[in-house]
Amino acid sequence: MKQSKAKFNIGEVVRHRVFPFRGVIFDVDPEFANTDEWWNSIPSEVRPSKEQPFYHLLAENEETEYVAYVSEQNLVSDESGVPLRNPQVYQIFDREPTGQFRPKMSFAH
């Protein structure tokens, strides 16, 4: 198995390259680790490679907050500085004066 180095870190705010959502990373898989059903639900013409890091996000769009699972190739850093409204973010992370998120000690592993 090829080991991939993650481009993004836990606590980093990112946005999807194509779809209008963003969120904070709370976990990283070195390569795809979801179900085949989930994988096959992605249209083949936009289905990313499994051999790359995948990120678990506390995500939000204009309508709602949710958990997303996104390939590295579909993420970019979010430099907007707009506060996140997903309440789970503030249950799991503390916000540093720099704006970065750091896992609360009770959630760090």
To the question of pTM greater than 0.85 for the whole model, the response is yes
pLDDT digits (tens, 9 = 90+) for 22-56: 999 999 999 999 999 999 998 888 889 999 999 99
Provide the CA 58 distance to its chain's centre, in angstroms: 7
pLDDT (0 to 100) of residue 2: 56
Burial track 91-107 (b if 16+ CB lie within 10 A, e otherwise): ebbeeeeeeebeeeeee
Q: Looking at the predicted structure, is the pLDDT value of residue 107 above 80?
A: no
pLDDT digits (tens, 9 = 90+) for 1-26: 455 689 999 999 999 999 999 999 99
Considering all CA atoms of the chain, what is the largest pairwise distance in Å, rounded to the nearest integer?
A: 42
- What residue has token string 């179900």? 35
Q: Looking at the predicted structure, is the pLDDT value of residue 108 above 70?
A: no
Q: Looking at the predicted structure, is the pLDDT value of residue 109 above 60?
A: no
Confidence bin at 97 (pLDDT 50/70/90):
confident
